[in-house]
Chain A
Amino acid sequence: MEDMIFYDRLQFAFTITFHYIFPQLTMGLSLIIVYYKWRFLKTNIEKYNNAAKFFMKIFAVNFTMGVVTGIPMEFQFGTNWAKFSELTGGIIGQTLAMEGLFSFFLESSFLALFIFGEKLMGQKLHFLTGFLIFLGSWASGYLILATNAWMQHPVGYEILDNGKFVLENFSKLFSNPWLLPAFLHNQLASLVTSSFVVASIGAFYILRNKSIEYGKLFLKTGVIFGLVSSLLLAFPTGDWNAKNVAKYQPATFAAMEGIFETEEAGAEIVLIGQPDMIHKRLDNKIAVPNILSFLTYQDWNKQIPGMDQFKEEELPDNIPALYYSYHIMVGLGTIFIAIMALAVFFLWKKKLYTLKPLLWAIMFLVPFPYIANITGWYTAELGRQPYLVYGLLKTSEGVSPTVSSGNTLFTLLGFVALYMLLGLLFLVLVGKTIHQGPTSQKH
């Protein structure tokens, strides 16, 4: 049984990690495309229109890969997590079906119109199709987050005698206090990824001395969007999320912050340290006293329960992984603010386009927002353990009892091979698009 759960979780972790490479870019990029299209409508300067169309090509490749890698997710609910689907299908089925029916179709239908319909529709309708793509992708994120928010903080449900969860109040699913902060934080994080991608393509063009006009435009857009979104990511949305975790999942909060022992007067914030699970302490830690209490409760001396206040079974089952995921996410987020602030400063000083070390840094930083986004999701998912539905349904109760660990391992290896192929194809297609550059076609 232990083996089964391990491989089922491993497979889900692998497939969702790979899948989330794509939607995190499409959600943020759709907003930047709408911005370029709006700028074109306002100014009638062709380069904005070409920028919108160029990034829509990258969007299309990402969207397609997101669809392909999303299929195993859908299947896994039935194959690996049949018991979970059976028990909670009455609730999560609502939001997941809405995601597929409304958001996905909205996005894919208008994507085709945006790519092919500019001449036929005219510029205003073309802008509208871009806006509807943005709406579809963000609605998709909202409905996925609504599903996850219910798993993190279940509301509006009733449990029947047979153990099945049914929805008692539909509106509570969308007014879940977990949902809005998680949604805003997630969307801003995806905007950070997109900003870095846009800025790094710009930096690449400038460094290669190719499509300089577009290089400057992309870099400027990327760093401004990047600074604003990474600041908003930390505050208020990151702060709001952390407060939610402290309120609704206090054991998770203690674990992710690395608080092994409750301190009488105010909790310190740990910047660096290594969890030692045998001696229940943090080794080699660097911490600032009382800051965590202040950030969480605006009270320097407020006591925050440590892990010693909870029973073993209430704590997440992989504390080091949770702790590191959270700290990597926060650490990278801080670096993003610093880099983008520096870039905006040099943009204001009119030196950014010639400052090669910073251009190289921006170009090579592009994988890191992806890592931050994914570790952010690991924090949420590892923090919820050992539950699938927090406090109500354990992960061990949700797996499919008839699927063997050998079967899961076999298909996992298959996924690894196929995803490597898809990943390679993705890199070729995006590389080709970037190499071709934004074409200066007249509309």
Chain B
Amino acid sequence: MTQTLISLISIIIGIIGANLAGLILKKYTLGIIGNTIAGVFGSILFIKSFGRLGFDPNAIMKLGNINLYLFIINIVVSFFGGVIAVILIQKFKKVMS
């Protein structure tokens, strides 16, 4: 059941990543609301897509205890999921307008 908590933590990390990206890379920011939404979807997309490589929440808890290395990889991927989502959505926004 800890898997569910891990997935929520990784989404929150994605939100943090997206908002930090917006703060540092000003030209890509979507505003706090846009960055937060991008962070959620970016982290979910990245974990769903790449988590199968062995660091999805189920793999992290496979042996009953938290595998810290896999957990850290999950968090890092989630963080970058948020960052990349902000950049991509800003580019998409420019194309659309």
Question: 1/0 contact trace for B59-97 toward A, CB 8 Å?
Answer: 000000000000000000000000000000100110011
Q: Contacts A408-B1, A411-B5, A429-B33: A116 and B96 contacting too (C-beta < 8 A)?
A: yes
**A431–B96 CA distance with the chains assembled, in angstroms:** 27
Q: How large is the interface on A (under 10, 10 to 19, 20 to 34, 35 or more residues)?
A: 20 to 34
B5:A429 contact, CB within 8 angstroms: no
Query: In the complex, what's the smallest C-beta–C-beta distance from B17 to chain A, in angstroms?
Result: 14
Question: 1/0 contact trace for B12-37 toward A, CB 8 Å?
Answer: 10010000000000000000110011
Residues in B whose Cβ lies below 8 Å from that of A64:
36-37, 40-41
Q: B4 an interface residue at 8 Å Cβ cutoff?
A: yes
Report which of B4, B44, B89 forms a contact with A76, defined as CB distance below 8 A. Answer: B4
Query: In the complex, what's the smallest C-beta–C-beta distance from B86 to chain A, in angstroms?
Result: 14
Q: Contacts A75-B7, A116-B93, A408-B1: A433 and B33 contacting too (C-beta < 8 A)?
A: yes
A68:B36 contact, CB within 8 angstroms: no
**A13–B11 CA distance with the chains assembled, in angstroms:** 22
**A410–B9 CA distance with the chains assembled, in angstroms:** 15
Report which of B7, B12, B36, B97 forms a contact with A421, defined as CB distance below 8 A. Answer: B12
Q: Contacts A68-B8, A116-B97: A403 and B1 contacting too (C-beta < 8 A)?
A: yes
**A130–B76 CA distance with the chains assembled, in angstroms:** 35
Q: A119 an interface residue at 8 Å Cβ cutoff?
A: yes
Report which of A57, A72, A408, A429 forms a contact with B8, defined as CB distance below 8 A. Answer: A72
A414:B5 contact, CB within 8 angstroms: yes
> Which residues of B are in contact with A by a Cβ distance under 8 Å?
1-5, 7-9, 11-12, 15, 32-33, 36-37, 40-41, 44, 89, 92-93, 96-97
- 12 pairs, A vs B, C-beta closer than 8 Å: A64-B40, A64-B41, A68-B11, A72-B4, A79-B3, A112-B92, A411-B5, A415-B4, A418-B8, A425-B36, A428-B32, A433-B33
